[in-house]
Each structure stands twice: as C-alpha cells, then as structure tokens.
Structure 1
C-alpha cells in the first residue's frame, strides 16, 4: 500500500495553512496517537493473532512488518513528515517504544462493536470503543510506570505530550463492508450510517475530554474501486463505471463521507478549543486509481 509521498506532504502543508492550531509553523508535534483499521494498523492485529505473512511488507520493510500491506501506510508518511518514528502498536509488547505516541488500530476494526467473532469471518474484536479503553488506560499507566525512571522514562511519553499530540482517526470502512457481507442494499447500509457516526463523534468527545486538541480525520476510500470489494461483492456490469469501479459501492462511501464531514463541522463548533483537519482520502485515492497512467503511480490497497 505504498502511497504517493508528495500527496502526503501537500495534505500536511494544507492542514497547517488552513488550521494553524493543528501544528506549529514547523509542524513540530511531539507525538501521534492513532485509532483505526488496516489502513493504519502498524502491528496491532499481528500482535494479537499472528504476524501478517509475506508478501506483506515486501516493498519497503523487506519482511513482514505487522502491516497488512506491501509497504508503508499513510500514518507512516505522516510520522516521517513530522520527524517522528513509526508508531508502534499498543498491543505489541516486543521491542516497542511509545515515547512519541502509540497506535491502537487493528486490521478489520469497526467503529461499532462487531456482532460476530473474527474466526467467523467477522471484524476485529478491537473496535473503536475498545481502542478508546486502551488509550485511557495507556494515559494513566504510562505515567505511573514512567515515574519509576530508568528505561521506562525513555520508552513512554511525557505527560504534556497527550495535550500536544496529533490524534489521527482512519476508521469506518469496515462498518460499511459489514453491511455488504450481510447482503444489505445500499439504502439499508445508508440507514445505519448515522449510528456509526454517532459513535465516531462520541469517540472524538472522549479523546477531547482526555486532553486531545488536534484531530486529523480521514474519510473513507472509494469502496467500489477496491479489488477485494469488487471480488467479494460483485455487481452487474451495468453498475460498473468507466474506470472499473462499482457505482453503488462508491455511492455508499460518498454518503458516509458527506455525513462524516457534516459531523466534523459540528464538532468544530461544539469543541471550540480543538482543531480539526478533515482529510479527503476518497478523492486522493480515486484520483490515483482513475489517473494512474497519467500520474505514473502504482497504488495498492489492503
């Protein structure tokens, strides 16, 4: 899932220009705390259920790296641009350094708690509510243990980092595909999206109550262009567009994104001390897919 490095630089620069409170003039943020699914999982699911096997990791890390992708993820590029190390997964206890943040994402995670186990083909049990519990526990325990001094002082974040950090969210895609797994129609999936976003919004409020003030929120990808969606949830040829994408699947994604953007606008007003950056991942990925030859890019999806 190697993405275009230049696009990440542009998104970071744009966020600094549009929302100066997101970062200092040099974007000098001391830590990142990430919540999400496979699009930003740097080793959570691998730590819990076994390492993502080769060819995962082959392009950049040259070996399995905990990511369900062949290379770096967007969260890796964000860390690079901020001059921070790649985020270690909260669940990975081997060789992890959390001094500059932690990653609570796991592949297959949903906003809403799943109603089937991962062994039954369901979603990850580490849904967003669980990730929030882990984060809350991390705040308390990291400071208790850091105060012991020694190596712990070097491996855990300073207390003030929690209010100065960037909080990134890249989740929701699996909530939409879970409806496809149940053979729901486009309208049926749209009907439960408000509940997904209610829980998403409450998650933001909880992080805010813990001191988080800088939020970086990704919308969801063009589902109808993802190979696994096209393969597992096919549509008639008449519903495929000129770029090979499934029209009704992209309709679901666009509806989710429009509603998510509306919620973010509302949260900006409600949580006036916070800065929100809404990142249009849908448009970025759709452009890379539909104009791959023109841009000279090779883009792969988890």
Structure 2
C-alpha cells in the first residue's frame, strides 16, 4: 500500500441523520445516526485482515499494530485509532465496524459500516502508484488525475442519489514525506526534506478534487458536501513537529526495520525483523506509510473544527452547535 493510493480512493464519509426536532422557534441540531466510509488503508478498520483470513499472516494483524489504544491488533494500519474513529467518537457514535465483520452486515442496527480496505483505488489500473512502479514518469501519472477525480466524483454522486445528505471527501497526504518514498527516491526539498515532485502530484490531485467537490455542491444544493484537506495538516506536522508535541524526526517511522527513515520493506512493521519506538505519540509516522494515532488525532481535529475542512463555515460543516463542538474537543 502506498500513500498515493489514497489519492485514488479518497476517504469518503457519509453521515445519516435524523430530522431536526423543533422547540419553539429554535430547532435542535441534526443528530447523526450512522457513518458509512469508503477508502483505503487510511480508514480501513479491519476489512483487509478479514478478507485475508486463512492466508499467510500479515503485519496489520500483529502487535505492535493497535497497541496504543486497543491494546491489541484490530486490523487498523496504525498503532491505534484512525481519523474515522476520532470522528465517530466526537459525534457520539460507535466506532464504525469493517463491512466484512458479522456485526456490520445489519445496517438496520445503526452505526453504519466501513467499506474501506488497504490498497483500495478508484481505477482498476491501480492509479498513480501502479503507473509510477510501471515506469511511467510523474508527468504521465499526472495526466491521469482528471480521470481519477472523475471516478471519485462518480462514486460520490451515486451515494447522493442513494440518499446520502452529508458527505465528506478527503484529499491525499503529502506522499513525498512518507518514509517509504524517501527510502526509494532522491531530489529532496532542502526546507522540509520531502520529495518535491511527489508532493507536487499530490497537490495537483487535491486541487482538482477540491474544485470538483465545489462543482458538485452546486449540482446538489440539498446535500452537504465537504472537502477535508489531508495534505495541509500532515505538512504542518512535518514542517513544525515540536509545535504540535511531536519530538522525534517527523520523516522517520516509529515502527520499522532500520535505515535513515526506519523503513525497510524486507523488515516491515509487525514482522520479526522490525522494532518499535518507545513512545509512538512522539512520532508523526507509524510504519513508513501510515501515521500514528497521535498524528491522526490532529488531522481529525482539524476536520472537525473546520481548520482543514471546506467550506469552513459552521465549523467545517461537521459541527452544528457549541455543545457538539465541546463534545468533540473532549473526545479529541
């Protein structure tokens, strides 16, 4: 799984809600009842592990994955919770179960379901990572951005047509700041240490996607469509980690098999050849590809309070009252 794949399978969150109840002339804010999630490893709460049952063991189902919060592996590709978990907690909903789990098959029970899976993409050709691995140049990969965004938009429109009235579409992370990519390529940005051209591809994708979401807002005026920025919060952590409480090198993975970025594909996190840092909360990156729970907490907080959600009015369109904002802050 590669960070660029998230650009191809944007995390899409659909919220189902009850109608607002009236009290005099002041309606109560809508209450969300369910979350349905679609995406890749940045929101997979266990589908990949469940799908791979019976196959040779995979790292996501081994300690230290999940150790920080759950105290056991849950199939999440991190040391703890993902952004979708923080959002569910903040909205007073149960953590969204993976679709392949038995308890997720009854949608009537509320809570929703998570269809995200490690390696999920928008196009059958595997999108940007497949193209780059196949020898295509970054410019050639860039030419696929409109097609990838159209595929994401088709998915969003299908959800809206099926009745979704509140949809959050995320962009992708700065792939050029991920240890896995830094281990393979050169041409670093002297200021950040990241890979400029890979980040340029991610930024272009995000720009096209955000513009497309804005156009869909005009097409579906009765649906709340929000673009959640995944790039800016992670870039902020990379540029000024100490400001946000991250004391370790932000481009180095907490769990890995050595090397300058602690990433070694031959000794991946969770395998016998890897080791884990003593304090994951001091790190931005978890395993060379995915972020730590602490970093995801910062990202989710920025989406919930509107700093990294667009349009930003009403606290990023996710929050509807000061009471809910306080509950979000408490949960985060």
**Pairing partner for 1:75 from 80, 84, 87:** 84
Identify the residue that residue 8 of structure 1 maps to in structure 2. Answer: none
Deviation at 1:179, TM superposition (A): 2.5
User: What is the CA deviation profile of residues 212-259 of structure 1, one whole-angstrom value per residue up to 9, with x for unaligned ones?
Assistant: 11111111000100112222x4124xx333221000000000000000
Identify the residue that residue 235 of structure 2 maps to in structure 1. Answer: 286
Name the SS for the 1:277 alignment partner: strand
Name the SS for the 1:101 alignment partner: strand
Deviation at 1:183, TM superposition (A): 2.8
Could you say if the C-alpha distance between residues 218 and 57 of structure 1 is closer, same or farther in structure 2, counting changes exceeding 3 Å? same
Q: Is the 8 A contact 1:55 1:70 kept in 2?
A: yes
**Structure 2: distance between partners of 1:27 and 1:60:** 30
Greater share of helix: 1
Deviation at 1:178, TM superposition (A): 2.6
Identify the residue that residue 34 of structure 1 maps to in structure 2. Answer: 37
1:256 matched to 2:215? The reply is: no
**Structure 1, 183-192 or 248-257: larger mean CA deviation:** 183-192
**Structure 1: distance between partners of 2:226 and 2:50:** 30
Identify the residue that residue 203 of structure 1 maps to in structure 2. Answer: 155
**Pairing partner for 1:186 from 138, 150, 160:** 138
**Pairing partner for 1:87 from 96, 115, 134:** 96
Identify the residue that residue 73 of structure 2 maps to in structure 1. Answer: 64
Greater share of strand: 2
1:103 matched to 2:106? The reply is: no
* Structure 2 unmatched runs, 5+: 1-26, 247-282, 291-332
Identify the residue that residue 242 of structure 1 maps to in structure 2. Answer: 191
* Structure 1 unmatched runs, 5+: 1-23, 115-122, 124-174
User: What is the CA deviation profile of residues 83-135 of structure 1, one whole-angstrom value per residue up to 9, with x for unaligned ones?
Assistant: 01111011122687752100000011101124xxxxxxxx6xxxxxxxxxxxx
Could you say if the C-alpha distance between residues 81 and 181 of structure 1 is closer, same or farther in structure 2, counting changes exceeding 3 Å? same
Name the SS for the 2:38 alignment partner: strand
- Report the TM-score, using the length of structure 1 for normalisation: 0.68
Could you say if the C-alpha distance between residues 244 and 271 of structure 1 is closer, same or farther in structure 2, counting changes exceeding 3 Å? same
Deviation at 1:186, TM superposition (A): 1.6
Deviation at 1:28, TM superposition (A): 2.3
Q: Is the 8 A contact 1:89 1:102 kept in 2?
A: yes
Identify the residue that residue 275 of structure 1 maps to in structure 2. Answer: 224
Could you say if the C-alpha distance between residues 230 and 26 of structure 1 is closer, same or farther in structure 2, counting changes exceeding 3 Å? farther
**Structure 1: distance between partners of 2:222 and 2:211:** 18
